[in-house]
Structure 1
Amino acid sequence: MHAWPASEVPALPGKGRDLQIHDTATQGTITLDPGPVARIYVCGITPYDATHIGHAATYNAFDLVQRVWLDTKRQVHYVQNVTDVDDPLLERAIRDGHDWTELAERETALFREDMTALRMLPPQHYIGAVEAIPGIVPLVERLRDTGAAYELDGDVYFSVESDARFGAVSNLDAEAMRLLSAERGGDPDRPGKKNPLDPMLWMAAREGEPSWDGGTLGRGRPGWHIECVAIALDHLGMGFDVQGGGSDLAFPHHEMGASHAQVLTGEFPFAQAYVHAGIVALNGEKMSKSKGNLVFVSKLRRDGVDPAAIRLTLLAHHYRADWEWKDDVLDTAAQRLGRWRAAVSRPDGPSADALVEDIREALANDLDAPAALAAVDRWAALQQSEGGTDEGAPGVVSRAVDALLGVAL
């Protein structure tokens, strides 16, 4: 599976700062210190309805992580999956009378278009669950053969008790985990499971549903968590720098994935930091496909909204904050974009050296994008009120906003 084209990231003078970021597992801020190549895995979409503003907010957060790392003169190895076979996708295809593969391909293509328009940097490896199955099957077999997994009516489940560190990502108690498992694709009440929280690794073939050769597992399809583990281990290995996604992925998805990987390899940790973006609401409720209360990036673009204004709307909220989409947030972003473009269109202006460092400092401080926007606002206001004589300043501002915030002026 191919990703989307990359926009050029301008080089800035000097060097950026190492990223301090909130880690869900330790529940505190840690300083990331990758080697020459920083490694990041971000969980991708299930392509039955893409791309809403909640998605865009999440991918914007991890785009900023990449931009901070690139500014430190590191390379970035970014991997993202596509869950192109799963119950919600199959259910939507049946509901609408579509072939599930065509639905997945169409929505994935639309997601690529939205990411391109928003200037999100693409992953080096963009991997679908279906194409990852040959690498998933041996991992499930290993877990089963070592006693970390068991069969139940042909399905294969992972035993969470096989990982002594289970629970260390989300830091939730058993009852909270059980409730979230029921809400987020698990089956804690299925009879015969060793532990209600045990997640499915391999689903035996069901009549009328797609299935693949699973070797000694029999025909079936993979569970959600092992999909990402197989892709991450194959392309990044253990101990990569950031595992990212929305806050609703901390449990069960990232918790289970970490346990799968740690039991498979005998190593710890799966990721150095677990980073989670906040939830975007509409009309007082979380924006989600199941509720149908969605604001789509593609719809905004069709209505003539500048993608740079959409991106500025996302940047105006701290990535970890939950916030609510309202029409006025987009209006505010469009006005900001107009002020910034007017400011950099002049032939000279106030020195921008301090501004570049202010943006760097804000982003290195747990991706504080609102503080970075405020710094650019101050420069634009000074440009409007007083001007300046530095002929290179508008160009420096334009390149810095592009390189660090992903907004083309």
Structure 2
Amino acid sequence: MSKVLVIGAGGVGSVAVHKMAMNSNIFSDITLASRRIEKCDATAESVKARTGVTIATAQVDADDIDATAALIARVQPKLVVNLALPYQDLAIMEACLKTGVHYMDTANYEPRDEAKFEYHWQWAYQDRFREAGLTALLGSGFDPGVTSVFATYLKKHYLDTIETLDILDCNGGDHGQHFATNFNPEINIREVTAVARHWENGAWVETPPLSHKQSFDFEQVGVKNMYLMYHEELESLKTHLPEIRRIRFWMTFGDAYLKHLEVLQNVGMTRIDPVLYEGKEIIPLQFLKAVLPEPASLGVTTKGKTNIGDIATGTKDGVQKTFYIWNVCDHEEAYAETGNQAVSYTTGVPAMIGAAMLLTGAWGGAGVFNMEQFDPDPFMAMLNEHGLPWQVKELDAPLAF
């Protein structure tokens, strides 16, 4: 049994600590910390009511390395699970190095002043974590995270090599709002409005945001339009599975969401550079975040399902084959279990499982690692056991697009 410190009390943090409390044989002591301790306390009350487990709470500014290190020193966890904002990844990694504690997150670092999603900032910590004898596990959410493990599971059990890989992320849920995002609005909109990139024949191919659309029939959701985007697991998978010739990421969006987003872009509300308003500098996107519905508040009204998976084409014993592996998650079932909708659930559960992999010794090592560098089997087994069951089937042919 091990102590764990979770930093970040949004929907993902809430799901993660609920699921950790349900696995007290692994997580003996849980502390949830955030800049706003009242959010931690509300989650702690929910955890107590739903599971009977008492978790500790704390207040911390995760941008402050010394303050975070002081909290780590006080809590004495074996692992810090970073579920805060991606901007804070490096500061929390520094605090872990300062205190000699293992580190894990669900999303790669990005600078506040540029929507740039790359791993090089965190990969640069490889030598420092290795020399300290510490593990840093990057991207233990769903995408990135489960989608990377899906790929290595297919390669281990179904394919000798993977030549093309498509990651398909569909949220078929309806929250009843005219416009809202199912996770942090600032991060969501930065991601969606960034230049699309995919890896093909040894080089990055860039296209304008949301300019490449395809339709796909998602099981238990139906036919949805999905758009080519960049996502950080493309960078790590093409690095650690170098035989991949092409890798792409697709996400579904409804017409109403895209129309609202277009208007917001046209009037400058998605800008991430400061503007002067009444003598003060504000970031338009951060102001927009403040007036949009809080994602954690959407769980009570959200209905429908998510469907996220990988389609991989490669060879097995010299014969070309295509396999599809995916998970379907129900928003209402996720809310009934943890008080959070499925988008938070599908990230928070893998965060708990990734932490379990490190705490039990199923995964480990000195250095900085991505999910696909470890044995997929124990992680895949826990997905089935803890609310995210998956399916795999062979397709008749590769994707036609």
TM-score by length of 1: 0.31
Structure (1 or 2) with the greater strand fraction: 2
Which structure's CA Rg is the greater one? 1
